[in-house]
Amino acid sequence: MEQKGTKTRPRKLYEVPNMDVTPKNKGSFLRPLKALSFLFREPVTLPMEPRPAAENYRGFHVNDWEKCIGCGTCAEICDNEAISMVHIPDLPEDHKNGIKPRRPAIDYGRCCWCALCVDICPTGSIALSREYIHISREMNTFFILPDEKGMHGLGYPIGWGKNEDSDLLDLKRQPMGEVEPEARSDNFDEIVDGFDAHTALIEASRCIQCGMCHEACPTNMHAPQYIRAIWEGNVEKAVEEIYRTNPFPQVCGRVCTHRCETACSIGRRGEPVAIRWLKRYAIDAVSPAKVKKIALADKAKKKSGKKVAIVGSGPAGLTTAFDLAKLGHAVTVYESKEKPGGMMRYGIPEYRLPYDKLDADIAVIEAAGVAIECGKAIGRDIGFDALRSDNDAVVVATGLGQGRSTRIPGSDQPGVFSAVDLLARVTAGESFDLKESAAVIGGGNVAFDIARSLARLQKKTFGKVDVTLVALEARDRMLADEEEVIEGGEEGVKVFTGRGPKQIVVENGAIKGLETVLCLSIFDEEGRFHPKYDEADVILHPAAMVVEAIGQATDVSYLGKDVTEALEWERGRIKIGRDGSTAVPWLFAAGDMVEGPDVIHAVAAGHRTASAIDTFLGGGSSKLEAAE
């Protein structure tokens, strides 16, 4: 210990600066008495009641229950786990649009009023009010379920609310490169470039893991998990999470109707996370061999000895086949066309879904042990009863292969095609009588697919585009996706909305054009689809060929008389139970032919049907995640 009390002179280490603050004069002993002057000054008196808090004040929580969607992100970000979500049964619940019947409750024994919950709230419903007084001996009053009136219902103004600077969410979607209209006008190369690794990482980082997409997806994909895996840079784990519910990542990554993005809570105030394109990024980033290994990891080792035949190799048929094969059943898929894929191949143009990507998905399914026999039409090459006899169960999933015709006068001319047939011919590369000007009837995605395909073929053969599309619906209620309408317009497709087909004008054997009438309204009072025409307003759209894309029907003639009689029917379609079962115990049905409308619903139906068959075949509880 140093010696005590001696004053050692500091060794001259550094020069002492000029700023010397030793007190100048010690001042007299009585100096402090000057403070007495305060006695004669006006005392500062403050009011007793609580002072109003500052405008930015972070007081007790308020939550606007109209805006709140119960996503739980506030509970997720809370660093003291002060917020827990409370399930309230009688609140609105709508999984399709990402609304959950729960609201945040706050434990003021833990909360530190940091307002991170306010800054991250996707809808901006939660805020901190300017109320700060709460005195109670009753512990329970410190656990509150705030509404917009606040803790004591006094409706204090908002202090710390949602604000531009402090918003923690990334509301802008990462830009996605696309081929310019000019460059894509005469070829079928894929339009959407797809994310590169860096952009995918940033896009994936936008996800706040609220899980709304999981519940909105028809087959309940584990989107939060695979997005988080992409963000962690582990694309293989992402593929693993995807294959838990969807054997068609390449397809769904490109053409899915992305119900998840409709429900995404970021979409409330900004652009939803690009969940579909992230799925595509993950599957593109993993080698096909690795994908097979991941997808077949849970394949049953032993064979069940049961045989299942599946008619139709669309998404429903192949998903059912994939699940059953992984459960150890022997599965054979019969496809009437030359190549498998159904509508995915013959209904979707290649600029949307390249065929090699579809083949990649199908290759994985075949690797699971599914035998696909193409060019085999049931009812023509193989009898349905023959199919029945050497299989324990049969699944029909032949989709809606037949294009409906409007059957308006002139619609039976040779120059009038159905969109579905024409698209199939384009895919198969078969030639057909392409004219310099064409008219398409219909306003859905199929109509735009054929219109834009014709535009490309016209540009390639005639060097110019002349395609007119006539849709019943008004511009703001088109059935087709918005980007289809926009991109179609960019590629030269002239779109007429609110027009109903009247007749196809034919003069000496050649089609002159399509006459349409104004469609005043589409839905009647009860909201049912019942268009009302104004026959005075007629337009003639000049065209040398007409394509009808107004609807599709199923062809079930291959079932044969007695099976058709044994089945139950509803409006021309087989009546099925939730799990795809029909009135005939060994026969199941799935996909567009029983209930549409798109690939992802077909995949979901495929899972349900597969687990039903597995139970029917005595497989007991299937390991598969049955999509409820």
Q: What are phi and psi of 581, to 5 degrees?
A: -75, 155
Among 65, 88, 300, 434, binds other proteins (CB under 8 A): 88
State in Å, rounded, how far the first CA of the chain is from the last one: 78
Binding-site string for other proteins from residue 45 to residue 74, where x marks contact by CB under 8 A and - marks none: --------xxxxxx--------------x-
416 touches other proteins by CB under 8 A: no
Dihedral of alpha carbons 283, 285, 291, 297, sign: negative
CB-neighbour burial class of residue 506 (10 A; exposed 0-12, middle 13-18, buried 19+) = middle
597 touches other proteins by CB under 8 A: yes
Binding to other proteins (CB under 8 A) within 113-152 occurs at 113-116, 119-120, 128, 139-145
Nearest CA-CA partner of 221 in 238, 208, 199, 207: 238
Half-sphere exposure for 290 (CA within 13 Å, toward CB) = 13
Binding to other proteins (CB under 8 A) within 477-496 occurs at 479
> In the block, which residue shows the tokens 């087959």?
219
500 touches other proteins by CB under 8 A: yes
For the CA atoms of the chain, what is the radius of gyration?
A: 34
Among 60, 160, 322, 334, binds other proteins (CB under 8 A): 160
Q: Which is nearer to other proteins, 391 or 453 (CB)?
A: 453
Among 355, 533, 586, 616, binds other proteins (CB under 8 A): 533
Q: How far is the CB of 114 from other proteins (least distance, A)?
A: 4
Among 4, 137, 198, 302, binds other proteins (CB under 8 A): 4
What is the three-state SS of 464-522?
CCCEEEECCCCHHHCCCCHHHHHHHHHCCEEEECCEEEEEEEEECCEEEEEEEEEEEEE
Among 22, 45, 389, 431, binds other proteins (CB under 8 A): 22
Judging by DSSP bridges, how do beta strands 545-548 and 438-441 pair with one another?
parallel
Among 571, 618, 621, 628, binds other proteins (CB under 8 A): 571
Binding to other proteins (CB under 8 A) within 326-345 occurs at none
Q: What are phi and psi of 551, to 5 degrees?
A: 165, 165
User: Which of these segments, 97-105, 179-187, 238-246, 317-325, binds other proteins (CB under 8 A)?
Assistant: 97-105
Q: Total residues contacting other proteins (rule CB under 8 A)?
A: 128
* Residue 173, number of CB atoms within 10 A of its CB: 18
User: Which of these segments, 242-250, 462-470, 500-508, 604-612, binds other proteins (CB under 8 A)?
Assistant: 500-508
Enter the tokens of residue 133. Answer: 């007084």
* Residues 516/503, Cβ–Cβ less than 8 Å: no
- Residue type at 80? N
The single-letter DSSP state of residue 94 is B
Q: How far is the CB of 48 from other proteins (least distance, A)?
A: 17
41 touches other proteins by CB under 8 A: no
Q: Is the bond into 101 cis (omega within 30 degrees of 0)?
A: no
Cα distances (angstroms) measured from residue 185 to each of 353, 488, 491: 16, 10, 6
Q: How far is the CB of 345 from other proteins (least distance, A)?
A: 15
SS3 label, residue 310: strand
Q: How far is the CB of 324 from other proteins (least distance, A)?
A: 26
Length of the chain: 628
Q: How far is the CB of 575 from other proteins (least distance, A)?
A: 10
Among 158, 207, 397, 440, binds other proteins (CB under 8 A): 207
User: Which of these segments, 88-96, 183-191, 312-320, 490-498, binds other proteins (CB under 8 A)?
Assistant: 88-96
505 touches other proteins by CB under 8 A: no
SS3 label, residue 108: coil
Among 62, 158, 169, 362, binds other proteins (CB under 8 A): 169
501 touches other proteins by CB under 8 A: yes
Binding-site string for other proteins from residue 219 to residue 238, where x marks contact by CB under 8 A and - marks none: ---------x--x-------
Q: How far is the CB of 286 from other proteins (least distance, A)?
A: 21
- Can you tell me the distance from the alpha carbon of 153 to that of 17, in angstroms, rounded to the nearest whole number? 61
Among 96, 380, 407, 475, binds other proteins (CB under 8 A): 407
Q: How far is the CB of 218 from other proteins (least distance, A)?
A: 13
The single-letter DSSP state of residue 581 is B
User: Which of these segments, 149-157, 201-209, 287-295, 381-389, binds other proteins (CB under 8 A)?
Assistant: 201-209
292 touches other proteins by CB under 8 A: no
Q: Which is nearer to other proteins, 380 or 460 (CB)?
A: 380
95 touches other proteins by CB under 8 A: no
260 CA to centre of own chain: 3
Among 64, 65, 67, 85, binds other proteins (CB under 8 A): 85
Q: What are phi and psi of 51, to 5 degrees?
A: -75, 140
Q: Which is nearer to other proteins, 353 or 556 (CB)?
A: 556
* Residues 617/393, Cβ–Cβ less than 8 Å: yes
Among 43, 47, 50, 89, binds other proteins (CB under 8 A): 89
* Residues 149/155, Cβ–Cβ less than 8 Å: yes
* Residues 438/467, Cβ–Cβ less than 8 Å: yes
206 touches other proteins by CB under 8 A: yes
